[in-house]
Structure 1
Amino acid sequence: MKRATHEVTPDAQERAVLVSLVTQQLKREEYYDPEYSLAELIRLAETAGVEVLDTLTQSKEYADSKWFIGKGKAEELKQRLEETGANTAIFDQELSGAQVRNLEMYLDVKIIDRTQLILDIFAGRAKTREGIIQVELAQLSYLLPRLSGHGKNLSRLGGGIGTRGPGESKLETDRRHIRNRIDELKRQLSEVVRHRSLHRERRKKTGVFQVALVGYTNAGKSTLLKQLTQADVFVENQLFATLDPTSRTLKLPAGKEIVVTDTVGFIQNLPHDLVAAFRATLEEANEADLILHVVDSSSEMMSIQMKVVDQVLEELGAHGKDRVTIFNKIDLCPPEQTDMLTAEGEYLRVSAYREEDLVRIKELLESKLMGDNRTFRIPAEKGDVISLVYRVGEVLENGVEGGDMLFKVRVNNKEFDKIGYMLAAYESARQASGHAEGETTDHV
């Protein structure tokens, strides 16, 4: 076959051959499926605006330290690149700087790995100051130890994937300059984290119930937020359509308002540098009163996606939070498949586009917010505690007995503890001032 040659021009679209190496170690990993991982890499490449021309898979006991896929397979890859006219090779696994340098010199095309591709997509989606800082920090942290392996990438005309975000000029400077830039970004990010923590503290003090939507990328979290709150939220059927966290107020049937936050989607092999940089954003899940784990019921790899989300939540320390699984997109599933959707703990099967399902979600949130029926005995002079009862709970009955007010209230455990703490503090003050001991609270 005659080999075609294609000159790379500034306006050339990225045309890529995708490469996957399946090692014995990967085969032993619980969440890894080579075919699904490669299919996901294709979607990631298309999301980044790359035209995928071909795929190549290699099985080896372990990665080759010089060529990653081995010299023989590298020769086959070179032939594929020339035959298809591709100007980029994208690898499904992370490469070292030396491997990038060796492959780039031999193949004479741009070399990108899965981590860099994901970082590039994030760079294109970041819109807020926080998002831009986090992406640049993740990119620089990833590229710093690999600078020697990206020489031709950075000088190659055309820009495109692998060069967005920090930009070529920053990455071509010496390591000391990049380390200084990383230190500056960390300082800026710590300031952002401080502001975000203050906002969270304010929300806690007001007693607002907080819900975090988490899930695999493209599970429908943004759609669910938009349908529930009628918010102006960007929705698109693509990976990582939402990058920056979005919080909206949701009014429940009984009139109470809660805050719902849509977080960045998770994915297999989410880059560690990205998880570290986005920890401030992902902390929204850790600080929430309730996590809604949104699942794409129509995905063939649903079980793997759910395990990946569990793994990331565990890394964040949010694995033990109160959680409800929302099996979304059931309108895309056959009835027999829908009937088999179950999860540990509470779960709902819904379509974000069905009004009756949205009502069911709101009713579930209300039951989580309002909690159980409790009875409180509160001294009549404690107006601040009585005010708190009306603010955080649903007063079902009230009356007077002696000098105390009796309330039957529907309230969740968190708010119940808050009321109990105030009453305990009041009782301690009473005893310290010489009043007789008495029952100040009776809860059922």
Structure 2
Amino acid sequence: MSSDLFDRQKDAVGKGERTILVYIELTTGKQIPNSLDEFKQLAESSGLDIIDTVQVKLSFTKAQFFIGTGKVDELALIVDDKKIDLVVFSLALSPSQERNLEKVLKCQVLDRTGLILDIFALRASSFEGKLQVELAQLRHLSTRLVRGWTHLERQKGGIGLRGPGETQLETDKRLISIRIKNINKRLHKVHKQHDLGRKARIKNELPMISLAGYTNAGKSTLFNRLTKSEVYADDKLFATLDSTIRRVILPAAGEAVIADTVGFIQDLPHELVEAFKSTLEETRQANVLLHVVDASDMNNRDKIDQVQEIIEQIEAQDIPSIIVMNKIDEISGFSPRLDIDDQGNIYRVWLSANTGEGIDLLYKALSQSLSGMMTFARIKLDVQSAYIRSEIHKVGFIQKEIMNEFGQWLLEINVTSHYLERLLDKQGVSLLWEQKSQQSQMV
């Protein structure tokens, strides 16, 4: 069912429903500046044909339509005059408000949550991602079944329901509940496989680095830069949905694992946070969190706060983090730099993942943050193994090196415990002494 469901979703892409956006500014609440631009980007990301945008200022919401009856009548005239298929609201509507609006406007009505769910349906590509999106959509859909199907029968699996589709419209709450249980069982199997991978990484003492940040901050571009991968990256909202993990050799820190995860957004729907908890688990298990921020965005301070809220929501707030101020190439005359606190710890790095400027500074920051997983050791390289010296120079810190009278190299190095074990497995390498960092011993 899941495969057919997402085949239908692909068929629906690009049909370009004629759409009116209704942007609501609540004068009593806090909103990120330029939220209107972000709302338009969301709509464009879903392939809608935006015919008009209506802005509404409200000091309080109305129970029947969320907005006033006068504004609803105005919308109805526009819908009729411009042959509108869809009206999208920038805030969450209750099921009854959605239904009431559809009766008056005589077209489909969608709120912000439904719009984001639809974008996720378009973007999901992995088996797990598709299941997670369908689960989120079904949970959202089940809240719309309070008083029956009448307000949904006209939607025919289009925008906002590309996941569940037409088949789900012929079911009832019981069948949706059964489908949710089946998806949860399948996801449970996938999650168990993820857990085995995490346990293997922990056993191998591989440092785990996770990227987090507001959508379109450049996480995937940074991931590609660090791992020399070609993960899909684009200048649009939610370009990445599926968690991607790669092993990488970091200068001065050795072997590590880096995870790229879904981007966050203000008021991320609860259904998505719940459905994507497994994907976000990569963030919770990290040794270091790289909080990627668009440095060129004038409103990045508010977006940092939004991301921090979600990090706390998934209980990852105690993980050591580095703020990565990305896209400095879009700021005139700005150079890469490090920001250091009173204790000498690097807490912020300014760089460009696109051009590579400042990546060396990020490596330095990661080395400092991962120092608790490092081991200080003295090793001996036999004459025939001297070539390994150049490899260690790339991977770890060589504090001191001398050649004895027998042509052997004696090195004092600082590397991860995992890399040291791999090093000692090589022919002609022997350990003279080892001292783990105090932080590492406490872990």
Shorter-chain TM range is: 0.7 to 0.9
Q: How does 1:148-187 map to 2 (within 5 A)?
A: 148=147, 151-156=150-155, 159-187=157-185
**In the aligned structure 1, how far is the partner of 2:91 from the partner of 2:242?**
26
Residue aligning to 2:237: 239
Cα shift at 1:333: 1.3
Q: How does 1:28-47 map to 2 (within 5 A)?
A: 28-29=29-30, 32-33=31-32, 36-47=34-45
Q: Pick the aligned partner of 1:104 from 99, 102, 105.
A: 102
Residue aligning to 2:20: 17
Residue aligning to 1:368: 369
**In the aligned structure 2, how far is the partner of 1:100 from the partner of 1:89?**
10
TM-score (norm 2): 0.79
The count of aligned residue pairs is 384
Q: How does 1:284-363 map to 2 (within 5 A)?
A: 284-335=282-333, 346-363=347-364
Residue aligning to 1:279: 277
Cα shift at 1:124: 1.1
Pairing 1:417–2:442 present: yes
Change (3 A) 1:51 1:311: same
Which letter does structure 2 place at the counterpart of 1:170? Q
For structure 2, the 5+ residue unaligned runs are 1-11, 379-414, 422-430
Residue aligning to 1:427: none
Overall identity of the aligned pairs, in %:
38
Cα shift at 1:270: 0.2
Cα shift at 1:190: 2.1
Instruction: Output one character per residue of 1:102-131: Cα deviation in whole Å (capped at 9) or x when no partner.
Output: 111111111111000000110111111211
Q: Secondary structure at the match of 1:187?
A: helix
Change (3 A) 1:363 1:99: same
Farther off after superposition, 58-67 or 93-102: 58-67
Farther off after superposition, 60-69 or 268-277: 60-69
Q: Secondary structure at the match of 1:53?
A: strand
Change (3 A) 1:47 1:390: closer
8 Å Cα contact 2:15-2:47 kept in structure 1: no
**In the aligned structure 1, how far is the partner of 2:25 from the partner of 2:154?**
31
Change (3 A) 1:17 1:339: farther
Residue aligning to 1:433: none
Q: Secondary structure at the match of 1:227?
A: helix
Instruction: Output one character per residue of 1:352-382: Cα deviation in whole Å (capped at 9) or x when no partner.
Output: 13334222222322333344987799xxxxx
Q: Secondary structure at the match of 1:28?
A: coil
8 Å Cα contact 2:247-2:258 kept in structure 1: yes
8 Å Cα contact 2:292-2:326 kept in structure 1: yes
Change (3 A) 1:122 1:205: same
Instruction: Output one character per residue of 1:30-78: Cα deviation in whole Å (capped at 9) or x when no partner.
Output: xx23x52222111000000012222112223322111111211101111
**In the aligned structure 2, how far is the partner of 1:260 from the partner of 1:408?**
27
Farther off after superposition, 270-279 or 226-235: 226-235
Change (3 A) 1:302 1:375: closer
**In the aligned structure 2, how far is the partner of 1:373 from the partner of 1:188?**
38
**In the aligned structure 2, how far is the partner of 1:339 from the partner of 1:357?**
7
Change (3 A) 1:239 1:372: closer
**In the aligned structure 1, how far is the partner of 2:277 from the partner of 2:175?**
24
Pairing 1:262–2:260 present: yes
Farther off after superposition, 223-232 or 10-19: 10-19
TM-score (norm 1): 0.79
**In the aligned structure 2, how far is the partner of 1:108 from the partner of 1:171?**
19
Pairing 1:407–2:408 present: no
**In the aligned structure 2, how far is the partner of 1:66 from the partner of 1:216?**
33
Cα shift at 1:334: 2.9
Instruction: Output one character per residue of 1:301-348: Cα deviation in whole Å (capped at 9) or x when no partner.
Output: 211110011000001111111000000000101347999999996110
**In the aligned structure 2, how far is the partner of 1:342 from the partner of 1:132?**
41
Residue aligning to 1:191: 189
Q: Secondary structure at the match of 1:247?
A: strand
Which letter does structure 1 place at the counterpart of 2:212? V
**In the aligned structure 2, how far is the partner of 1:102 from the partner of 1:149?**
13
Q: Alpha carbon RMSD of aligned pairs, Å?
A: 3.1
Change (3 A) 1:338 1:96: farther
Q: Secondary structure at the match of 2:77?
A: helix
Q: Secondary structure at the match of 2:364?
A: helix
Q: Secondary structure at the match of 2:358?
A: helix
**In the aligned structure 2, how far is the partner of 1:110 from the partner of 1:100?**
9
8 Å Cα contact 2:41-2:237 kept in structure 1: yes
**In the aligned structure 1, how far is the partner of 2:77 from the partner of 2:377?**
78
Q: Secondary structure at the match of 1:155?
A: coil
8 Å Cα contact 1:214-1:221 kept in structure 2: yes
Cα shift at 1:394: 6.3
Residue aligning to 1:119: 117
8 Å Cα contact 2:13-2:122 kept in structure 1: no
Farther off after superposition, 282-291 or 172-181: 172-181
Residue aligning to 1:6: none
Which letter does structure 2 place at the counterpart of 1:361? L
Cα shift at 1:391: 3.5
